[in-house]
Each structure stands twice: as C-alpha cells, then as structure tokens.
Amino acid sequence: MKAVRLRQPASLDNLVLEDLPPAPAPGPGEIRVRLRAASLNFRDGLVARGVFRVKDGLVPLSDGAGEVVDVGEGVAEFAPGDHVVSTFHPKWLDGFMDRAALDNAPGGPADGFACEEATRPATHFTHAPRGLGHAEAATLTCAGVTAWRALVTDGRVKPGATVLVQGTGGVSLFALQFAKTAGATVIATSSSSERLERLRAMGADHVVDYRETPDWGARVLELTGGVGVEHIVEVGGPNSIAQSFVAARTGAHIAIIGAVGGFDVDTMPFAIVQAKRLCLQAVTVGTRRDQIEMVRAIEAHGIRPVIDSTFPLDRLADAFRHLASGVHVGKICIAI
C-alpha cells in the first residue's frame, strides 16, 4: 500500500511517499479499514516540522475516514462496507482518563492515517455520519470533537446563550455550527471582510474584525449590552486570551484549545479571571463517547463540515504549506 512516512530530521521535505506491505488481516476485536480521506490539523503541522518529536518513519495525520473491508473475531459493531472515522484518543472511551494514559494518539506518537489501509482495534473508530462523504467525515476526529467537547460536554451550552468563536479554522467553524444548532447567539471574530461575510453566511449573529479592532473584547461587550459572553472557544492562545477575558461575562466558561496566534506573551491579566469568576477549562479533543454523540447530532441536524481544499496524498507537503499560510477557511483534506 501507499503511505507517507515522516523521516528524521522532521521537515516538510522529509515527508516521503513509500510502498509498504498491505495492512494485516484483523485479529480478534480488530477491523481493517480502506482509508479514503484524511484531514490536517495545527498539531499535525507541528509534528511534520519537528516541533513535536516523533519516531523516524511515523505515518502522520490523526484524522482518517474510509470503509471497513474486513472484521476480526468478536467484532459486532462494524461490518464490511461500513463507513467509519478514526478517534483521536483511542484509549479514552468515556469518563476520566489520566493524561499519562493518553499515549497512543494517531499521527504521533502512534502511526496515523496518511496511508491506504490500517488495521486497528474496532474501538479506534466510530461510525461516520450518514450522508457525509469520506473527506467530510475525516474532518471530525480532532476539530469536530474538540468543538463538541468545548461547548456541549464541558460547556453545556443552552438555548439563548451567547458564544464567541475566533477565526475560520476547523474548530471555530464547528463551534459556530454546534452553537447555532443549540439555539445560541454567536459572535465571531476574523481578519478580513470576506471571511466575516463567510461567517455571517454560516449563521454568525455578529462579527468583529480583530485587525481593525485590536481591543475586540470591548467591542464584544458593546454587542452584548455590557454583559459579555457566556462561552468562549479560545483558539488563539496567549496572544488573544486577554481579550477573551475582557469579552467574558461573569462566570463565563472559556474553553482553552490552542495557540494558533502564537505562544509569546508578556503578561496574563489573571486578576480579571478572579474578579469575573471565570471558568478556564483546557480541551484536549475528547472521548470516543463524545464522538459518537457528536455524530448523532450531525445526522439529526444535517450539519455539513466546511472543507477549504483537498490535496492528493503525494502532495501532503503542499497541503501543510497551505495550512501554514493561514488563508484557508475550514478544513484542508487529503484524498487517499
């Protein structure tokens, strides 16, 4: 089978398309999947560039979707022909799990899905939403589940709540869709009139250009009558979180997800965290149960993931360059 492997020292130039032996026949409790699509995440780019160190020859990409071609003894949940999508933390099925036990995420440290076939335990996958194509399903593993965990599992968003999302990346767009489905009002930030219009078209009730309005937290306060928002999906990191604190309502839930805006910061105004009694909750994707429940919601409400572009497997490095450019709206996918 064809697969891309990351050779050391890690760089985009060391993503090598190779011929590997076919995936083995599934053993008890396993399934063999013919991968049809994958998608890229910010974390995958860190792996590919060597920021997160991994083994030589790792198969990258945490998000994969395809169809089951064979099942092992004892597998009742899946049958050949079923469309499936991978999970990000294969061991974390539900409830609490210690960080030290989350040690086999695909795409690093375990092999991922930049390949044509994979044989894994059945619990490493869930059914894909009915009606979605393989590329759409492949966007769900990391970005979709992260947004679901932030707003639904942890945030318990309710109708009438106000939610702030940042930018037009995968997590933010899923959060916008999930929030609107829940009956919330959504305020979205971005950096161009074109992207702001895209956000409006997806249902954002208010939009703010953070480049024209660097103190956008104050603008969010104005839009909420001085009250602030109850939920914030914080993807920008240290360089945006101070404005999120300003925009937050007293007692707000702030889901801390990433640092796409950079890691450098001089001061963190934690006094406002105490004054507003803010709930800061980090999100590291979620459980298999989260993914199953998210899939049900996607099916029930007809949610369609937003795909920016699709690259063939042999142009994975170009896909990463496109991700790094920051011009994309939605997910970047790989056809396998």
Confidence (pLDDT) at 259 = 65
Mean pLDDT in residue range 54-62: 98
The hierarchical CATH code for the domain 2-139+305-335 is 3.90.180.10
pLDDT tens for each residue of 261-277: 555 555 566 789 889 99
* Residues above pLDDT 70, as percent of the chain: 97
pTM, entire model:
0.95
Residue positions counted in the chain:
336
pLDDT tens for each residue of 81-140: 999 999 999 999 999 999 999 999 999 999 999 999 999 999 999 999 999 999 999 999
The hierarchical CATH code for the domain 144-282 is 3.40.50.720
Domain boundaries, the chain: 2-139+305-335, 144-282
Who's near 270: CB < 8 A, 6+ residues apart?
none
Work out whether the CA dihedral 108, 113, 114, 116 comes out positive or negative: positive
Q: Are strands 185-190 and 206-209 parallel, antiparallel or unpaired?
A: parallel
Q: Are strands 229-234 and 206-209 parallel, antiparallel or unpaired?
A: unpaired
pLDDT tens for each residue of 287-333: 999 999 999 999 999 999 999 999 999 999 999 999 999 999 999 99
pLDDT tens for each residue of 156-188: 999 999 999 999 999 999 999 999 999 999 999
> DSSP label at 305?
-
Contacts 24+ apart (CB under 8 A), 128-133: 128/65, 128/83, 128/84, 128/85, 128/295, 129/295, 129/298, 129/299, 130/299, 131/299, 131/302, 132/298, 132/304, 132/305, 133/37
